[in-house]
Amino acid sequence: QVTLVQSGGGSVQAGGSLRLSCEAFGRTFVNYAIGWFRQAPGREREAVLTIDYNGGHPYHADSVKDRFTISTNNAKNTAYLQMNSLETEDTAVYYCAAERLGNGNKWSHWGQGTQVTVSA
């Protein structure tokens, strides 16, 4: 069983940066895909960035291209979401997720979510 614990987030002005962390307990990210998702008020949850533990199959939403990056430190069992040039439209609850490779986009394991608020 994988437990994901998030940290980071908070409030920032537009143009600022934040980094979110997602630490895995119970096992490592090896052989897993890792994803960052977000859900804004009144909107459906959307995938922001996803990647396999070894860097394969990277995906990013068009809205975060060249601003957000995903990375992993397998030695620390931690994934990161670096968010730069934040915009008010990035305000949302952000979630990390993990799924064993080969299981498709089931995303069986989720972090607790963390609020990111970007003010003008």
Q: Torsion angle, CA of 104/110/114/116, rounded to 10 degrees?
A: 0
Amino acid at 58: P
Residue 25 has a pLDDT of: 94
Residue 79 has a pLDDT of: 95
pLDDT along the chain (120 residues), means of 10: 94 98 92 96 96 92 96 91 98 97 90 97
Residue 104 has a pLDDT of: 80
SS3 content of the chain, % helix, strand, coil (to 5): 5, 55, 40
Tokens at residue 19, please? 């980094």
Residue 86 has a pLDDT of: 98
Residue 35 has a pLDDT of: 96
Residue 96 has a pLDDT of: 98
Residue 102 has a pLDDT of: 87
